[in-house]
């Protein structure tokens, strides 16, 4: 597939910012002409600037659908497996404890995701976007996929031709030694536009 790249600049509301946009030619399937944006959000200031940016043009476009995506970090290594035990009773006890700790950790992550996504929804609704045009996507902490693969899969599943992400958002991803999520997206996205908001 031929790739056509372009760079655009934009100001996020309240502060000067840049939007880098890698554009790829995108085939629309089955005559569906809706514009679908996958907007990756988290708790950072960069993510707030993303929402401010997209909310400025949200009501001016011809019916875009916004898919707010929260990428949950993976389970910590200490919660992946017990290490085993010689006695079956001890093994069952360790498994039960591990399962309880995993559920507790995931409950905290679920609450964090709900908080971030509700705040993002409110931002878009205050800008005048109808609630029916805002959709929610959350990755599972049990998936072994890398964050960039999860974002690309969500974009594909939700039929989003454009991915919008904050440049300095998702700092936990950098901690995995994978570099910056936005750099990964710009390198890996094929058939999608990627808007990176500074």
Looking at residue 4, what is its pLDDT? Answer: 30
Looking at residue 179, what is its pLDDT? Answer: 56
Q: By C-alpha distance, which of 183, 157, 176, 197 is closest to 52?
A: 197
Looking at residue 159, what is its pLDDT? Answer: 93
Token pair 């690309």: residue: 152
The rounded average pLDDT for each run of 10 residues, N- to C-terminus, in the chain (198 residues) is: 30 32 35 78 88 80 83 82 69 83 90 94 91 90 84 93 79 48 87 88
H/E element holding 88? Answer: helix 88-126
Looking at residue 135, what is its pLDDT? Answer: 95
Looking at residue 44, what is its pLDDT? Answer: 86
Is 0.85 topped by the overall pTM?
Answer: no
Q: What is the DSSP letter of 62?
A: S
Label residue 101 exposed, middle or buried (CB < 10 Å: 0-12, 13-18, 19+): middle
DSSP character string of 89-138 = HHHHHHHHHHHHHHHHHHHHHHHHHHHHHHHHHHHHHHTT--GGGEEEEE
Provide the terminal-to-terminal Cα distance of the chain, rounded to the nearest Å: 28
Q: Map out the domains of the chain as residue ranges.
A: 19-79+115-197
Measured between alpha carbons, how far is 52 from 136 in angstroms, rounded to an integer? 18
CATH number for the domain formed by residue range(s) 19-79+115-197: 3.40.50.620
Q: By C-alpha distance, which of 139, 143, 147, 151 is closest to 80?
A: 143
């Amino acid at each position: 597939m031929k790739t056509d790249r372009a760079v655009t600049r934009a100001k996020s509301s309240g502060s000067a910012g840049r939007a880098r946009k890698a554009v790829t030619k995108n085939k629309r399937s089955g005559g569906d002409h809706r514009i679908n944006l996958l907007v990756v959000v988290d708790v950072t200031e960069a993510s707030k600037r993303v929402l401010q940016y997209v909310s400025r043009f949200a009501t001016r476009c011809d019916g875009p659908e916004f898919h707010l995506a929260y990428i949950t970090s993976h389970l910590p290594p200490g919660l992946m497996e017990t290490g085993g035990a010689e006695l079956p009773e001890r093994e069952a006890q360790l498994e039960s404890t591990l399962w309880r700790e995993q559920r507790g950790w995931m409950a905290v992550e679920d609450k964090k995701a709900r908080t971030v996504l509700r705040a993002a929804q409110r931002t878009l609704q205050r800008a005048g976007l109808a609630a029916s045009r805002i959709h929610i996507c959350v990755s599972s902490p049990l998936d072994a996929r890398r964050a960039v693969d999860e974002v690309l899969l969500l974009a594909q599943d939700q039929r989003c031709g454009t991915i919008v992400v904050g440049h300095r958002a998702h700092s936990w991803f950098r901690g995995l030694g994978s570099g910056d999520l936005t750099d990964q997206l710009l390198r890996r996205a094929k058939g999608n536009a990627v808007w990176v908001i500074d």
